[in-house]
Amino acid sequence: MQSYKLPTSELTAEEVFRTRRTLLKALGFLGLNAWPLLNACTNYAAQSRDLNGTLVNLKQLHAPRNGSYRLDRPLTDQTEAAAYTNFYEFTHSKEVWRRVDRFLTRPWELKITGLVKKPLTISADELLKLIPQEERHYRFRCVETWSMAVPWIGFPLSALIKRVEPLSSATHISFISFLRRDQAPEQKRSSVELWPYHEGLTLAEGMNDLSFMATGLYGHELAKQHGAPIRLVAPWKYGFKSIKSVVEIVFTDRQPATFWNAMIPNEYGFWANINPAIPHPRWSQAEESLLGSNERRKTLLYNGYTDQVGGLYNLKDRQYFY
């Protein structure tokens, strides 16, 4: 497998282009002239003024920091993190923040169903009152080889799991995002029948202390491009596993289908645990580019969280990294 050795600015464009081309082909969009957004070179300076204007309108959140979660790198600048995101329901470019104005995140309900003793339907605002919030600093690694370090606000997924009391037959958790074709341009224009976006974890992964339901970032509620009002964060897995804007959580007795595995099964599996020794079929995962800087680092096994999650998997079994 060829290992790409490109400067940071070029690497991002290369990987984003390849990923977009595959998705656009799957969606039937190749050949359209309406996709100049395939140019992934983001002009942060031009965006900063607009982004600052939107970020100040977000509700401030006050949550104590959990010092057990420490970083080996500085936090990513919040404007950089807000400017460079993936959210394919809205656009195939990184400038998601330009496309989310019509997306309504209030009112918002979260349903928890399936193999549980106490099914729950609760509003996003009620959920904030139900479970104490905290701040955690996590590394975040995208399958496209860029990474960031951010201060999430939210609560352990395990706290929610315990409240609904899964049945003994429950082995997996399915997460489902929204379906709003009138608010999400790509859900409306694409012919893909896989919407809404859906992901999954094993129950053991969900109960692991690292699994986090994020409701805020950088001291304020989640911006829309980051998955408002509530999203999953599984920092030892590639970022596409951390599903945004969740509306339903279903407990099941089998491995659930997941969006990217259904879309491109030979490239994206259920597990997606980070391993620098196992490349994506089209690029190396040995290194990563830190968002907002020219720094490149070696990718860490499980994104540096081996002590917390290594016991869940057999390191010699490649299936856990696909």
Instruction: Write the CATH number for 195.
Output: 3.90.420.10
pLDDT value of position 31 = 37
pLDDT value of position 192 = 76
pLDDT value of position 130 = 95
Is residue 147 included in any domain, yes or no? Answer: yes
Helices (H), the chain: 8-27, 44-55, 78-83, 124-130, 157-164, 185-189, 203-207, 259-263, 306-309
pLDDT value of position 24 = 43
**Distances in whole angstroms, Cα of residue 88 to Cα of each of 9, 85, 264, 280, 312:** 22, 10, 15, 20, 30
Per the DSSP assignment, residues forming a β-bridge with 60 are: 220
Per the DSSP assignment, residues forming a β-bridge with 139 are: 149
Is residue 1 included in any domain, yes or no? Answer: no
Is residue 322 included in any domain, yes or no? Answer: no
Is residue 320 included in any domain, yes or no? Answer: no
Counting the structural domains of the chain, the total is 1
Q: What dihedral do alpha carbons 72, 73, 79, 80 form, nearest 10°? A: -110
Q: Any idea which residue has 């289908």 for tokens?
A: 257
pLDDT value of position 53 = 53
pLDDT tens for the chain, residues 1 to 322: 333 222 233 333 334 434 444 444 444 433 333 333 333 333 333 333 456 555 668 999 999 999 999 999 999 999 999 999 999 999 999 999 999 999 999 999 999 999 999 999 999 999 999 999 999 999 999 999 999 999 999 999 999 999 999 999 999 999 999 999 999 999 998 777 899 999 999 999 999 999 999 999 999 999 999 999 999 999 999 999 999 999 999 999 999 999 999 999 999 999 999 999 999 999 999 999 999 998 999 999 999 999 999 999 999 999 999 9
What tokens were used for 321?
């990294």
What tokens were used for 85?
């995101």
Is residue 305 classed as helix, strand or coil in its secondary structure? coil
pLDDT value of position 195 = 95
Phi then psi for residue 110, to 5 deg, are: -115, 125
Is residue 312 classed as helix, strand or coil in its secondary structure? helix
Is residue 3 included in any domain, yes or no? Answer: no
pLDDT value of position 57 = 84
Is residue 137 included in any domain, yes or no? Answer: yes
Query: Closest Cα to residue 4, out of 146, 141, 140, 139?
Result: 146
Q: What dihedral do alpha carbons 203, 207, 211, 214 form, nearest 10°? A: 100
User: Rounded distance, CA 5 to CA 148, Å?
Assistant: 20
Per the DSSP assignment, residues forming a β-bridge with 87 are: 91
Is residue 319 included in any domain, yes or no? Answer: no
Which residue range(s) make up the domain with 278? Answer: 8-312
Strand segments (E) across 131-245: 134-141, 146-156, 172-177, 198-202, 212-217, 220-221, 231-233
